[in-house]
Amino acid sequence: MQSIFTVPDLACGACADKIGQAIHLVDPQATISADPQTKQVQINSDLSATTLESTIVAAGYTVSK
């Protein structure tokens, strides 16, 4: 299932990498695309959107509703 999140503080490639690493800790099979220009994170994962959002927040980022 694909989930798309807006992450206002996604500022650079290092931020994208940090989010990707956090997601891969909870779902090693997930595919992630994070674009600092659009502030969008797209994740294909079997995990729920709620779990993925919580993981992004736990990594130190905010998710806009």
Q: What is the pLDDT of residues 4-50, one digit of tens each?
A: 999 999 999 999 999 999 999 999 999 999 999 999 999 999 999 99
Say what the pTM is. 0.94
Give the number of other Cβ atoms within 10 Å of residue 1's Cβ: 10
Helices and strands (H, E) in the chain, number of each type: 2, 3
With 0-12 / 13-18 / 19 or more C-beta atoms within 10 angstroms meaning exposed / middle / buried, residue 59 is: middle
User: Of 4, 56, 60, which Cα lies nearest the Cα of 27?
Assistant: 56
Which phi and psi (to 5°) does residue 44 adopt?
Answer: -100, 115
